[in-house]
Amino acid sequence: MTTPIDLRSDTVTLPSPEMRAAMAAAPVGDDQYGEDPTTNRLQEEVAALLGKEAALWMPSGTMANQVALRVLTRPGDDVIVSRESHAVWHETGGSAANAGVQLTEIGARGVFSAAEFVAAVKPRDHGIYPPTTLVEIENTHNRAGGVVFAQDEAERICAAARERGIARFLDGARIWNAAVATGLGVDRLAAPFDMVAVSFSKGLGAPGGSLLAGSRDLIARALRHRRMLGGAMRQVGIFAAAALHGIEHHLAGLAEDQTPVLLVHGTPIFESAVICEYLDECFIPRLHPTDALTRARHRSWIEFGSQLLNGIGAFYSAPDAARLEAERVALAARFAQVEAVLGAGPFFAGSAFSIVDATFAPVFRYFDVFDRIADFGIFEGLPRVCAWRKALASRPSVRRAVDPRYPELLIGFLERRGSALSQRMAAAVA
């Protein structure tokens, strides 16, 4: 049996057997009477972690965000948010329907500066403008690929907001990841904000639940709005137990996630494709060609390289010999397509190293290990691909890109995979 890893989202994480046991054993009561001991414990512990006076359990991150809007604004107000924020894209227009506010998107790639914020603020008591009464920051930012908001900029924005009597809200559904990436405590990340929403159903692995934290007064108001939205529940300690388990046992694991991170003047940027695009825009020589058509063609081959990685995954995960052979043939066919477009080399586009090369170098690295297992003949009759592979492998940056133990670690992973390839490796040793 193989266990596929679903990388679509951190929300598809499943509760572990230990988390389920904690849920089953949780002491519970009626939370609408304030009598659920596990929920009360979670609220107190997380409020303390976030450095806030109080916190209120919410069934979902979306409801936490919606309740915060109800508490901190009035209908007709203007709320400044980051471009492509969760509030704009993923709450089905709830901010307009529930709080009656309009959202003004500013900045780029999930972040904005204090100067951009100040420029976007619409004054109160103006005959025409909707008054800006709230600024919302999303940290980390979902649609921007997990970008972390620079804390000093968040502090400047919140200081400018405070001066203007504008409330501050942090959509910190993934504040845990931001804390790991920055090394700052969640209390420091939450400090400049009046209210903060955090979620347990993402990287912490709980089946549901978020918390909204803030002053006692704001949380008392949030209680009413949660009820209005139908989010008041009864023996909710079963969920709270999962959240407590996630905090106690899974927080440390977030630091071990293998997401590539680039720190730019203290601001981390996640995911290799995003990092490459950023480097390409900021540094000379550019890794992408300047001609738009050639650039588009390169992007297609980068996408092709990503699909090859899926093909490699299917190859080493194939459950039986017939499937392994089918995946081997599919890989060979894909490399034959690459052979047809390659020039004289040494790199994809000739003499210059490009992002296509950066994409294919890790693809070929797998085959250096597969070659130790057997001759799968995938590159037979493909001299240009072979020459390209050799040129990439000899490049110092490619060699230095991974831990020197990479081959042994991959061999160990393949042996434990329980796949047809694992069986073949075991047979070769026996």
Ligand X SMILES: Cc1ncc(COP(=O)(O)O)c(C=O)c1O
Residues that bind ligand X (CB under 6 A): 11, 60-62, 65, 86, 138, 142, 171, 173, 199, 201, 210
As given in the structure block, the two tokens for residue 39 are: 């929920």
Which residue has the closest beta carbon to ligand X? 61
Q: What is the DSSP string of 254-290?
A: HTT----EEEETTEEEESHHHHHHHHHHHSSS-SS-S
Minimum distance from residue 86 beta carbon to ligand X (Å): 4
| Cβ distance to ligand X smaller for residue 205 or 305 | 205
Minimum distance from residue 215 beta carbon to ligand X (Å): 21
As given in the structure block, the two tokens for residue 100 are: 């009656």
CB-CB neighbours of 348 under 10 Å: 25
SS3 of 75-97: CCCEEEEECCCHHHHCCCCHHHH
| Cβ distance to ligand X smaller for residue 138 or 357 | 138
Half-sphere exposure of 411 (CA within 13 A, CB side): 13
| Cβ distance to ligand X smaller for residue 70 or 86 | 86
SS3 of 119-171: HHCCCCCCCCCCCEEEEEEECCECCCCCECCCHHHHHHHHHHHHHCCCEEEEE
- With a CB cutoff of 8 Å and minimum separation 6, the contacts of 195 are 68, 71, 72, 167, 168, 169, 170, 212, 213, 214, 218, 222
Minimum distance from residue 112 beta carbon to ligand X (Å): 15
**Residue found under tokens 């997380």:** 46
As given in the structure block, the two tokens for residue 158 are: 């919140």
| Cβ distance to ligand X smaller for residue 173 or 414 | 173
Minimum distance from residue 171 beta carbon to ligand X (Å): 5
Minimum distance from residue 173 beta carbon to ligand X (Å): 4
Minimum distance from residue 268 beta carbon to ligand X (Å): 16
Minimum distance from residue 343 beta carbon to ligand X (Å): 43
| Cβ distance to ligand X smaller for residue 174 or 245 | 174
d(CA 250, CA 254): 7
| Cβ distance to ligand X smaller for residue 134 or 312 | 134
Let me know how long the chain is: 430
| Cβ distance to ligand X smaller for residue 91 or 327 | 91
